[in-house]
Chain A
């Protein structure tokens, strides 16, 4: 069978296909409505739903709830009839499947293991994701766009969230499910998986690029300067910029809110940065310390 069809018809992966379809559909729908509302607002008209009246809960809402429940039930039943839940061989600690994949919704994190050490990819980043998500309402002080789809009124919030949600979370999941084969090597869907395939990727550390051993004190210092410089500089530079251009915005934000927002933002941006460093410049570590590596 065609390896691509084989991989997408694996019972568990059907869920991912469904996810891709659903997410794309709703993404399109959300942005469509957002642009429509933006257009309405540009014309000076009220957004969708602004003139809504109250209606009885019984029956309009109850009915639509029941219909949705029925649709879901029918859909799930059909899915369950057509596709059997997978059950592989009995657990055997002595046979490690290659690749050993985490549950699909964690494959984004597993994909990050290529670029970060486990303590970052598996612990620190997920924790920051949760903390960051909870923090969103408190750091987003833009009062507009509450209760309707809009893009123009909260461009930066939506772009940042979409980048994190679609690219860093969902796209990495899709890559982990469909494009990663034995040895966590990249396989195009039409490529045959080969457990014996070895890809030798010479990697280096950042300081070795300029000829300093990354495990030496010099390398340590360079790494520390780069990492801490990124964190501190990433917070100070925009601060200077905002102070000059939008002082009132900075005032509204306040110092604490600004630092938390900026910290979360630059941490998120460190993921694509590290990915590019790794993929384009073959950099494995930026900073090597006796305790941890970044």
Chain B
């Protein structure tokens, strides 16, 4: 028994030993792992330090070489000999003895002065105390004591001053005895400073600790440890262009405006700021972390978190470009998107479309808009022929018409009329907005319809009425009303119908066919199901858009856009929607299950996730998909602290209860017809394709305005217009200028003033700046001729011609100044020269810091630059 037990015991001893060793090994592994395996940033920081060391060392060596070659080294040697000399002089016995003597006396004096000051403090304290009692009790005894103390103070003060006076000569003597030593020493230090600074930086880098580097944002409960692996992020110069050692790109914009100590990293870049163990975890590309890292241009989507208005935001260029897509495709028509409320309809009104287009065209368009025009913005709804016909039937039935087509292909056009129309077409610069056969459409953000095949789409009657007054057909139409005569319009119609035709156009209903009630009913259901009313105004459809909550309260008709129930999912916080709430359906296995991939796939194939989805396919390019998904990614219900938020101007105005500007009187009517704000911004309203007219009255001369409206001409070079207009370079063949609106032909009712008068009047009354004087100051000590000559000299001397053109010479960056004397008011030139960014923030022109006199001279010179009318016209 005992024996057996022992055998077992020894066997168990081995087990015990093996297990102990195993546990020890595991513990060792755990320790190693915790020290190195889980702390990869140690490696990165070491590597960074060595890279930085190399760089600093290189700089130091370079500086050292410079030091030697520039002669500084010789200077230093000379100074050092001088110093030696001076020191030897100082060491001479009589000098040194005297120095010691003086020093001793100085020390003595200093001690005495200290004593004196102490005594002063005591007496002053007593004095203040007595003064307090005196003011309180008004005892004469106190007063007497005060006087005595005052005397004491005076005497102590006198003594102190005397001693101070004694010190000065002694100190001077001391300095004299030291000779040049201090001066030489300072010189040596100054000479060595650049080198020693560089050396210090190397030492500092050497002694920098290897540690977790984090930015704590306590009110957002964030700890961004990104810089533990990216230690060079906040450097002003790259240590290495390689990640993770490089500096933040464009750091003067991004970090400069967002101090990392206040903002951290993850507000903009997302990712998992606390993670330090692996790249995947830190970048948030792991399960249970919904916010993967944003890199490169994608990061700009985060600008939307805080900035209410990104229109002119520096560093947000790519997101600005991308947000344009929302406007282009009108996402806000079906989805609620903050900041896009009340944007108006993307598509044309359809209430009377039956009077406008061919039935066959409508059916084909409904089935595939891109077949008609590759520029079509309308998405594909995947209607079958039957469905498309039903929808068209409903729309046509609204205007009381039948299925009918018109076919002008057999008609012989009136050649003369067509020729006339062609001239008018180019005179009116229709191609500025509209594309025909791949030409024109320079204002691409206007999204005017392509007209290449419009002759096979619409009928002549409608076209005539439309050109005459677009708003008669649809109140909210953006197209300006040109003041053509009926004869002119007829010629345009003839030109359009005969020229812009579609050879493949179907015309199946030249003999009209009645519409069945069943089809109308089906069409209405389809329209409601797919929410056509989101983008198009369709009368009678308003009640279906009333939000259910309001419908419950008995509201049956929409009064404002806010009450509208959007057919699509709300996108207000799509960028932070939890991934669990996104239905990947059939695509679960096909695409990676994160939010961005979902958004991209949704845009690529909106109905691909499962049956029964309604969103149409916009057939976006992959680039557009990436851009749009990037924007949507930025719509978050952000957890950004309110102190970061930058409200937009409209939001500020709303908060301050400032009503938006409204045009008044006859000018409002002009704006309504000509749609000036399609291109110009006036008092904060409108687009920025053309110059801002807010201060046009102060800026422009009346005569010039009249001339320009009668016959618009190019002022600004293309180069400058391009970024604003988004021009397609290939399509730009003609110079871009304002269309001619024939305002002088139109007269306001009951007066004999023309619209031009109205415009000029409004400009001069309303669109003026109090900062722009009518006249400029006068220089009395020079004749006008002298002033002009001096101004010209100044113009040449400052190199203005590099950018501006006068006559045939000069650059093409700034506006042509050949006729500036006729165009601008002197006051405007005078003020603008002081600070060119005063009226337009993104002007290229530098601020030269001209004196007032110089500005007067320049203004007077520029005002002489005038072309006579005939010159202007031939240009």
Contact = CB atoms under 8 A, between A and B. Distances in A.
Interface of A: 53, 55, 59-60, 63-64, 66-67, 70-71, 73-74, 77-78, 81, 86-89, 92, 95, 97, 192, 195-196
Contact of B23 (A73, A81, A88, A92): A73
Contacts of B9: 59-60, 63
Given A74-B23, A92-B578, 9 more contacts: A59-B9, A66-B16, A67-B12, A67-B19, A70-B19, A70-B23, A74-B19, A74-B22, A87-B288
A196 B610 contact: yes
28 contacts: A55-B5, A59-B9, A60-B8, A63-B9, A63-B12, A63-B16, A66-B16, A67-B19, A70-B19, A70-B23, A73-B23, A74-B22, A78-B26, A81-B29, A81-B30, A86-B288, A87-B288, A88-B288, A89-B289, A92-B578, A95-B578, A95-B580, A95-B581, A192-B588, A192-B589, A196-B583, A196-B585, A196-B610
A101 B794 CA distance: 82
A64 B15 CA distance: 10
B26 A74 contact: yes
A55 B2 CA distance: 10
B1 interface: yes
Interface of B: 1, 5, 8-9, 12, 15-16, 19-20, 22-23, 26-27, 29-30, 33, 288-290, 578, 580-581, 583, 585, 588-589, 610
A64 B12 contact: yes
B23 A77 contact: yes
Contacts of B289: 89
B26 A60 contact: no
Given A64-B12, A70-B16, A89-B288, A195 B26 contact: no
A77 B12 contact: no
B592 to A, nearest CB: 13
Nearest to A89: B288
A67 B15 contact: yes
Contact of B580 (A63, A67, A86, A97): A97
A86 B286 CA distance: 12
A67 B16 contact: yes
What are the 7 closest A-B residue pairs judged by CB atoms, nearest first? Answer: A70-B19, A88-B288, A77-B26, A95-B578, A89-B288, A74-B22, A74-B23
Given A53-B1, A97-B580, A192-B588, A81 B16 contact: no
Contacts of B288: 86-89
Contacts of B16: 63, 66-67, 70
- B-side binding surface: helix, strand, loop or mixed? helix
A92 B580 CA distance: 12
A77 B22 CA distance: 10
Specify which of A77, A78, A196 lies most central, judged by the most chain B CB atoms within 10 Å of its CB. Answer: A77
A220 to B, nearest CB: 38
Nearest to B19: A70
A70 B22 CA distance: 9
A70 B29 CA distance: 17
Contacts of A192: 588-589
A13 B5 CA distance: 41
A79 to B, nearest CB: 11
A124 to B, nearest CB: 34
A60 B7 CA distance: 12
Contacts of A71: 19
A70 B21 CA distance: 10
Given A70-B23, A81-B29, A195 B583 contact: yes
Nearest to A53: B1
B851 to A, nearest CB: 62
Contact of B26 (A63, A81, A89): A81
B313 to A, nearest CB: 31
B580 to A, nearest CB: 6
Nearest to B588: A192
Nearest to A193: B588
Contacts of B19: 67, 70-71, 74
Contacts of A73: 23
A73 B581 CA distance: 41
B619 to A, nearest CB: 27
A89 B288 CA distance: 5
Contacts of B1: 53
A192 B588 CA distance: 10
A67 B16 CA distance: 6
Contacts of A195: 583
Contacts of A59: 9
A55 B589 CA distance: 63
Nearest to B578: A95
Contacts of B27: 77
A142 B26 CA distance: 49
A88 B15 CA distance: 40
Contacts of A88: 288
Given A77-B30, A89-B290, A70 B581 contact: no
A59 B16 CA distance: 13
A60 B22 CA distance: 22
Contacts of B22: 74
Contacts of B33: 81
Contacts of A77: 23, 26-27, 30
Contacts of B15: 67
A16 to B, nearest CB: 19
Nearest to B579: A89
Nearest to B290: A89
Nearest to A97: B580
Nearest to B610: A196
B105 to A, nearest CB: 75
Contacts of A89: 288-290, 578
Nearest to B23: A74
B583 to A, nearest CB: 7
Nearest to A1: B589
A64 B5 CA distance: 13
A97 B12 CA distance: 50
Contacts of A95: 578, 580-581
B36 to A, nearest CB: 15
